[in-house]
Structures are given as C-alpha cells and as structure tokens.
Amino acid sequence: MPIGVPKVPFEVLERKMHILIPILKEIFFFCACTVLKGYNLTLINQLYRERLLVLGQEVDSEISNQLIGLIIYLSIEDDTKYLYLFINSPGGWVIPGVALYDTMQFVQPDVHTICMGSAASMGSLILVGGEITKRLAFPHAWRQ
C-alpha cells in the first residue's frame, strides 16, 4: 500500500473517466498503473481522492499515521463531504488505534465506517468510532 498523503495540486480526472474505466477493470486493486500519458497513478490514491479510506491490515503506527494524515487533509480540503473508512483489520496496537479513533471524532465531516471482512479488537473500536447513524457491516462481516 502506498505511503503518504496525496500530493497537491492534482488534476481532477472526472472528464477522462471513459479512458480510466476499461483500464481499472483489468488491473488488480492494489497494482500501480499508468492511467494517462504522463500520469503515474495507483488505484489506492484514486480512492483517497474520492474520500474512500481503507484500513486493510493490523493497526500499527505507520497505517495509523497515514490514515490520520489523510483524514485531516481531506477534512481541511472540504469539510462538507463525508469520509468513508472501509475496515478489514484483525486488531492491532492500542495507542495508534485510539489516536485514529480520536481523529475521527475530532474532524468536522462525518466519517462513515464500513466493516468488509473482519473488525476484531482495535478494528472494532475504530468501527464504532464512525458517526453513530453511519456505521455499516457487510452481511458476512465478522465483528468481535
């Protein structure tokens, strides 16, 4: 998974989506691809631009710092749009997890949390850290 916050400024690719769709359909989720001539873009960074964050590993200080930075950056960029955090985590460290939880409570935009696999231990605390009416779990997701 790429590390870091999306660099600014960036070109909005909404007008060029007809070019992106066929490319994205053929490439696995975390693979890097060349989208347009002169642009090197990973799919996960495109998700970040759409305000879709993914916690797909054990919670440690690296992923926690990355997600905290993204949440703060995206809330400063536009505090009227919701953030979506997809969780598939077996748990993890307490301090980085609580830091992520506190950041979700602190920012102005609502954070939707979606469990899409398992949310155990610290992952479940982060899951309940989303806005109270905007928590979701897929039908076969495992929460503990």
Same domain for 56 and 23? Answer: no
CATH number reported for the structural domain that contains residue 89 in this entry: 3.90.226.10
Catalytic residue among 64, 75, 121, 124: 121
Angle of helix 94-106 relative to helix 61-77, nearest 10 degrees, comes to: 10
- Is 121 an annotated catalytic residue? yes
| Assessment of whether the complete model's pTM goes beyond 0.85 | no
Distance CA 108, CA 104 (A): 9
State whether 90 and 131 are in the same domain.
yes
Contact assessment for residue 76 and residue 115, using Cβ atoms and an 8 Å cutoff:
no
Look at the chain and report how many structural domains it folds into.
2
Same domain, 61 and 93: yes
Distances in Å between the Cα of 125 and the Cα atoms of 86, 87, 130, 140, 143 are 13, 11, 9, 19, 10
My answer on whether 46 and 77 are in the same domain is no
- Interval 61-119: pLDDT, tens: 999 999 999 999 999 999 999 999 999 999 999 999 999 999 999 999 999 999 999 99
30 shares a domain with 75: no
**Domain around 61:** 51-143
Q: Are 44 and 55 found together in one domain?
A: no
Q: Does residue 15 register a pLDDT over 50?
A: yes
